[in-house]
């Protein structure tokens, strides 16, 4: 009798349906990995990965594969599943007309590999029938013929759908002289479509007149997750057109016509297609560009507001909001009501976590970084001096327009003083740090006096009288606060009573920042009703997705009336608040009903609404303003940040669990919003704490922020869960080191040898990634015969099963964090078979939708006592989930930022956990080179970064120097 699942397939309307049986009995899909034979393990693992990633459907004992996924199966998986192989055919593609024409059509024919044309082939989904034989198309052939058929069936009057279908064709189209199964006419090989869906502006001046070029961005396609990425920050999108193409488009093609067009031909066979919504925005842009003068200034001051006014009857507000991107090349920063202008400043920078660009001293001009080798400083200085003498407003240096001003000369002088003999550059994160020259004459945005160069504006703390009874809020609480939350509310009361103008509540996630804030606001409202405080409204500013949560939390935690009558000042509710049409930043006057804002008890709004209606909000004196997710105001000089700083409030409260995301200047900017001058000017702050920080200086900075003094509480409160939640069980950490087996050691040594031969920066990052991957495993499950061979090929995997064997013996549960998706699916099948689990461990990765993610969390949490494992990627599974059913965490792969690992561990180490928690770090060590092994060196580095971040407020992200040190230590 057979004890292994047998799989069969049928084709149904383009889908491939695979069924599983054991001796005639249907076997549920979740049991397939457990009872499949060694020859089927890879194929079943591939199917299970598609199911877990929601790319295939299941129905009891059936897996339903869409055509695209069936076509993507490897030859080995096809053989194991008894699916047909690829046809002995090539594809020739030709066209009729050109892509700009509505009649444009793409045709194709199938030829046998021998050269003869195949007569009447039939395609159904990914299957191609030639004569009586059926074949399964490979991914590239299926992808392109499917895209061609979709393109030909689109309505020419629907340009977005038509363009998307063409982009799918273009993805598979071979380039010139590229051999393969696909051949195409020269036109189709050469033409490349760029689809624009959003834009920004690149402003400049000519003879004192404001000019601007549109800079386009791709339409609606998100970059796929990159598990190999060294950083974890979202990067600013790249412009769609670069270099000459951008110049030709902006200065020639766009400027050639009086109106915007839906299509532009560019050099190199590039056809630029513009989405209908963007075309409407570019019509407005071109009109403002042609008008010049004051209209051009108005447009550059605030393009979003200008577009909303011009297109408000044609496009919905959220669509207009998405059309314009505020990039680092377009800063809407102001010092006064007037036109933003370029600024030049020297700064000492640190590298971002992605390590681009490197740490250095540099010059920032209008947000663009310029590399300045020391030998070019004198030459640039002479050019600026000559331009000033000749009365020119700017010069062009490496394609960047630099103001010819005394400010630029001062910046260059500072660079000379600070520069080392090495090449210097500017950190990507600091492109937003710009100042302006004297403001323009006409006001349009609220005045903000900045503290960039030095402190020109600071707060004046004065004790508030009379003393407000501390217990006033208690009768308004519906929920019982935990001890640390009582302490947090008392700290906020102390900050308010003793005269602080603001405070930063930076508690660890899960400690209840929202609840503590609501309790504090309820106290101030109760004090108003009792006559202790002058009545005034409360403004809460938060990202759009959190506004409803504030309402929900208010109703959960507070008895009526809570903090009073709510006014929603965002989205569609804004229409009822508007008293007049027009843009505030164009009219320089409020357009909202200020009286309604003043008479509301509390107002909810977004950061973008605050920016666009700053004149209305700026007229109101608020009792308190709360900035939730305060990292939204971490960048000096954006209009959102300056609008926040321009508001009037008795007290400002900033909430964030990550006061430092990438660099200490994040913290400076947040503090400068709520407590101006407390940390000095940005220039001195950056030079002292970011250029070459002294550990004692960093400790002093933490003390300044977190220690009470002179009769006042600390201005920042940051508590970690392990510090305040005494009810949490203990947490232990274990490193489990094992020697690499020969196969892994040889592969690892080959990486080291290659790295020693080429030690340039690009090869350094490539080597680190290669060491990182091979230290997990040198091969995939598909290339070995058995699970045992797969586990034995890797020291980390051997350590993993030793750890899980212990947990299995205890009947407890574990979270397994691993970022590589192929390893996730491989391990799911291996672990199900090893521990005879009724179903493969559930996986949560970036491919899993929100509802399905929560469904898997609920299922894991609800499972009765006993062993189980959930596999998660650090980014997708590291935030927003509660998994207290597990009390073991295994970090099988390491993330470059220890804060990400801590967030992952916090999935189970949080309120609700009632068992001791153990965190494991499996490590692979090279025999004879243990101390220099990648795993041990990276663990040491992450541990040090974690400790420094907690002790001295250092950014947890790895820097360029950290990467270089890791590289040197591992190849030594």
Contact 648, 615 (CB under 8 A): no
CATH class of 731-971: alpha beta
Average pLDDT, the chain: 82
Instruction: Name residue 344's beta-bridge partners.
Output: 365
3-state secondary structure of 598: helix
For residue 357, is the peptide bond before it cis, meaning its omega torsion is within 30 degrees of 0?
yes
pLDDT score recorded for residue 879: 60
- Taking residues 450-470, what's their average pLDDT? 84
Residue 489 buriedness (CB in 10 A; 0-12 / 13-18 / 19+): buried
pLDDT score of 920 more than 80 = yes
d(CA 767, CA 141): 34
Domains 478-724 and 731-971 share a fold: yes
Contact 201, 214 (CB under 8 A): yes
Which pair of structure tokens corresponds to residue 270?
Answer: 């590039």
Tell how far CA 951 is from the center of its chain. 27
pLDDT score recorded for residue 811: 96
Angstrom CA distances, 170 to 70, 148, 185, 243, 894, stand at: 21, 10, 13, 22, 37
pLDDT digits (tens, 9 = 90+) for 570-609: 988 888 999 988 778 777 788 999 999 999 999 999 998 9
Q: Residue 938's CB: how many other CB atoms inside 10 A? A: 23
pLDDT digits (tens, 9 = 90+) for 808-857: 999 999 999 998 888 998 899 999 999 999 888 999 987 777 667 778 88
pLDDT score of 338 more than 60 = no
pLDDT score of 233 more than 70 = no
Q: Residue 234's CB: how many other CB atoms inside 10 A? A: 7
pLDDT digits (tens, 9 = 90+) for 170-188: 888 776 555 567 877 777 8
Angstrom CA distances, 517 to 491, 628, 770, stand at: 11, 10, 46
d(CA 624, CA 534): 12
pLDDT score of 745 more than 60 = yes
Residue 349 DSSP code: E
SS3 for 206-261, per residue? ECCEEEEEEEEEECCCCCCCCCCCCCCCCCCCCCCCCHHHHHHHHHHHHHHCCCCC
pLDDT score recorded for residue 838: 87
pLDDT score of 300 more than 60 = yes
- Taking residues 181-203, what's their average pLDDT? 82
In the structure, how many helices (H) and strands (E) does the chain have? 37, 33
Instruction: Name residue 560's beta-bridge partners.
Output: none
pLDDT score recorded for residue 955: 65
Residue 62 buriedness (CB in 10 A; 0-12 / 13-18 / 19+): middle
Tell me the backbone φ, ψ of residue 192, rounded to 5 degrees: -130, 120
Which one is predicted more confidently, 634 or 427? 634
pLDDT digits (tens, 9 = 90+) for 688-710: 887 767 778 888 888 889 999 88
Angstrom CA distances, 368 to 215, 326, 455, stand at: 15, 14, 25
pLDDT score recorded for residue 365: 57
- The proportion of the chain whose per-residue pLDDT surpasses 70, expressed as a percent, equals 84
Tell me the backbone φ, ψ of residue 546, rounded to 5 degrees: -105, -5
pLDDT score recorded for residue 713: 95
E strand or H helix that includes residue 286: helix 276-291
3-state secondary structure of 909: coil
pLDDT score recorded for residue 269: 80
pLDDT score recorded for residue 773: 92
pLDDT score recorded for residue 419: 45
| Close Cβ partners of 354 (under 8 Å, ≥ 6 residues apart) | 229, 230, 231, 233, 235, 428
- Taking residues 503-518, what's their average pLDDT? 90
pLDDT score recorded for residue 179: 55
Angstrom CA distances, 42 to 45, 73, 80, 284, 780, stand at: 5, 11, 9, 56, 9
Confidence class for position 639, pLDDT limits 50, 70, 90: confident
d(CA 962, CA 957): 9
Residue 34 buriedness (CB in 10 A; 0-12 / 13-18 / 19+): buried
- 310-324, 641-655, 723-737: segment of lowest average pLDDT: 310-324
Domain ranges of the chain: 6-80, 89-190, 192-323, 344-432, 478-724, 731-971
End-to-end CA distance of the chain: 57
CATH class of 478-724: alpha beta
pLDDT score of 17 more than 90 = yes
- Taking residues 635-650, what's their average pLDDT? 87
Alpha-carbon dihedral 824, 817, 886, 41, rounded to 10 degrees: 20
pLDDT score recorded for residue 689: 83
Angstrom CA distances, 748 to 121, 399, 614, 740, 751, stand at: 49, 43, 58, 9, 5
d(CA 338, CA 319): 27
- Whole-model pTM? 0.60
d(CA 144, CA 157): 22
**6-80 CATH fold:** Arc Repressor Mutant, subunit A (1.10.10)
d(CA 46, CA 504): 48
d(CA 542, CA 545): 8
pLDDT score recorded for residue 322: 77
Q: Residue 221's CB: how many other CB atoms inside 10 A? A: 10
Which one is predicted more confidently, 140 or 429? 140
Task: Give me the helices (H) in 423-572, please.
Answer: 483-497, 513-529, 544-557
Tell me the backbone φ, ψ of residue 780, rounded to 5 degrees: -95, 160
Confidence class for position 951, pLDDT limits 50, 70, 90: low
Which pair of structure tokens corresponds to residue 619?
Answer: 């007229």
pLDDT score recorded for residue 195: 85
pLDDT score of 764 more than 50 = yes
d(CA 166, CA 625): 49
Which one is predicted more confidently, 223 or 527? 527
Handedness of CA 830, 834, 836, 837 (dihedral sign): negative
pLDDT score recorded for residue 441: 31
Confidence class for position 736, pLDDT limits 50, 70, 90: very high
E strand or H helix that includes residue 640: helix 639-646
Which pair of structure tokens corresponds to residue 514?
Answer: 């929202």
pLDDT digits (tens, 9 = 90+) for 158-173: 777 787 788 888 888 7
pLDDT digits (tens, 9 = 90+) for 343-389: 454 543 433 333 323 334 455 554 445 666 666 777 788 888 777 77
Which one is predicted more confidently, 687 or 224? 687
pLDDT score of 411 more than 80 = no
Longest dimension (CA), the chain: 96
């Amino acid at each position: 009798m057979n004890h292994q699942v047998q799989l069969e397939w049928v084709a149904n309307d383009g889908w491939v349906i695979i069924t599983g049986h054991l001796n005639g009995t249907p076997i549920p899909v979740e049991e397939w990995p457990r009872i499949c034979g060694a020859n089927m393990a890879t194929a079943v693992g591939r199917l299970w990965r598609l199911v877990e990633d929601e790319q295939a459907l299941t129905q009891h004992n059936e897996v339903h594969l869409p055509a695209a996924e069936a076509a993507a199966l490897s030859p080995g998986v096809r053989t194991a599943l008894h699916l047909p192989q690829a046809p002995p055919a090539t594809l020739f593609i030709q066209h009729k007309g050109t892509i700009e024409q509505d009649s444009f059509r793409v045709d194709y024919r199938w030829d046998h590999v021998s050269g003869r044309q195949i007569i009447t082939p039939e395609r159904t989904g990914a299957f191609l029938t030639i004569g009586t034989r059926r074949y399964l198309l490979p991914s590239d052939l299926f992808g392109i013929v499917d895209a061609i058929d979709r393109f030909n069936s689109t309505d020419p009057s629907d340009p977005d759908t038509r363009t998307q279908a063409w982009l799918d064709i273009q993805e598979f189209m071979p380039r010139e002289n590229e051999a393969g199964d696909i051949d195409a006419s020269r036109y189709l090989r050469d033409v490349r479509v760029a689809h624009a869906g959003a834009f920004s502006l690149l402003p400049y001046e000519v003879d004192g007149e404001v000019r601007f070029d549109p800079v386009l961005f791709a339409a609606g396609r998100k970059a796929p997750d990159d598990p190999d990425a060294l950083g974890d920050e979202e990067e600013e999108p790249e412009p769609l057109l670069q270099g000459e193409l951008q110049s030709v488009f902006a200065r020639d093609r766009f400027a050639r016509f009086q109106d915007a067009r839906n299509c532009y031909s560019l050099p190199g066979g590039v056809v630029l297609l513009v989405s209908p919504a963007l075309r409407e925005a570019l019509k407005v842009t071109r009109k403002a560009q042609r008008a010049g003068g004051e209209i051009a200034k108005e447009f550059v001051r605030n393009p979003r507001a200008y577009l909303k006014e011009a297109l408000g009857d044609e496009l919905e507000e959220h669509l207009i909001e998405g059309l314009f991107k505020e990039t680092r090349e377009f800063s809407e920063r102001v010092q006064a009501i007037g036109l933003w202008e370029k600024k030049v400043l020297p700064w000492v920078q640190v590298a971002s976590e992605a390590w681009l660009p490197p740490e250095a001293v540099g010059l920032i001009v209008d947000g663009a970084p310029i590399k300045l080798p020391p030998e070019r400083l004198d030459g640039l200085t002479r050019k600026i001096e000559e331009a000033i003498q000749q009365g020119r407003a700017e010069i062009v240096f490496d394609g960047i327009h630099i103001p010819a001003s005394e400010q630029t000369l001062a910046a260059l002088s500072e660079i000379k003083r600070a520069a080392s003999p090495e090449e210097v550059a500017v950190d990507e994160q600091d492109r937003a740090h710009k100042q302006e020259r004297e403001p323009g004459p006409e006001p349009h945005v609220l005045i903000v006096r900045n503290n960039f160069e030095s402190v020109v504006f600071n707060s004046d703390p004065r004790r508030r009288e009379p003393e407000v009874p501390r217990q006033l809020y208690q009768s308004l609480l519906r929920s019982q606060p935990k001890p640390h939350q009582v302490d947090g509310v008392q700290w906020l009361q102390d900050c308010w009573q003793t005269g602080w103008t603001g405070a930063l509540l930076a508690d660890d996630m899960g400690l209840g920042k929202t609840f503590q804030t609501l309790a504090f606001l309820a106290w101030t409202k109760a004090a108003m009703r009792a006559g202790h405080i002058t009545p005034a409204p409360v403004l809460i500013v938060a990202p759009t997705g959190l506004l409803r949560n504030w309402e929900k939390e208010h109703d959960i935690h507070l008895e009526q009336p809570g903090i009073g009558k709510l006014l929603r000042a965002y989205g569609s509710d804004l229409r009822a608040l508007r008293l007049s049409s027009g843009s505030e930043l164009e009219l320089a006057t409020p357009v909202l009903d200020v009286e309604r804002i003043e008479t509301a008890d509390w107002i909810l709004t977004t950061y973008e609404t605050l920016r666009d209606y700053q004149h209305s909000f700026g007229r109101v004196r608020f009792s308190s303003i709360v900035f939730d997710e305060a990292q939204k105001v971490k960048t000096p000089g954006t209009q959102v940040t300056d609008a926040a700083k321009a508001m009037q409030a008795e007290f400002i409260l900033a909430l964030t669990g990550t006061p430092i995301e990438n660099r200490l200047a994040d913290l400076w900017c947040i503090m400068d919003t709520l407590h101006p001058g407390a940390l000095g000017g940005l220039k001195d702050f950056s030079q002292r704490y970011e250029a070459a920080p002294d550990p004692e200086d960093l400790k002093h900075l933490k003390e300044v922020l977190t220690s009470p003094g002179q009769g006042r509480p600390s201005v920042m409160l940051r508590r970690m869960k392990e510090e305040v939640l005494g009810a949490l069980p203990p947490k232990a950490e274990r490193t489990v080191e094992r020697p690499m087996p020969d196969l892994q050691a040889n592969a690892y040594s080959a990486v080291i040898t290659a790295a020693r031969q080429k030690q340039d920066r690009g090869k350094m990052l490539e080597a680190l990634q290669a060491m990182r991957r091979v230290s997990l495993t040198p091969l995939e499950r598909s290339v070995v015969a058995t699970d045992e061979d797969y586990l034995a090929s890797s020291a980390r995997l051997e350590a993993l099963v030793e750890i899980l064997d212990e947990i299995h013996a205890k009947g407890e549960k574990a979270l397994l964090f691993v970022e590589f998706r192929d390893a996730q699916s491989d391990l799911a099948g291996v672990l199900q078979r090893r521990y005879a689990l009724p179903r493969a461990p559930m996986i949560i990765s970036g491919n899993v939708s929100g509802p399905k993610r929560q469904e898997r969390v609920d299922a894991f949490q609800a499972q009765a006592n006993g062993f189980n494992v959930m596999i998660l990627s650090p980014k997708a599974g590291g935030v927003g989930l509660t998994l207290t059913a597990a009390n073991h965490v295994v970090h099988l792969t390491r993330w470059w930022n220890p804060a990400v690992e801590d967030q992952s561990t916090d999935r189970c180490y949080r309120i609700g956990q009632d068992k001791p928690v153990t965190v494991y770090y499996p490590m692979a060590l090279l025999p004879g080179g243990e101390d220099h092994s990648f795993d041990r060196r990276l663990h040491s580095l992450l541990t040090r970064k974690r400790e420094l971040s907690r002790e001295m407020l250092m950014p947890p992200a790895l820097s360029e120097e950290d990467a270089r040190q890791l590289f040197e230590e591992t190849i030594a």
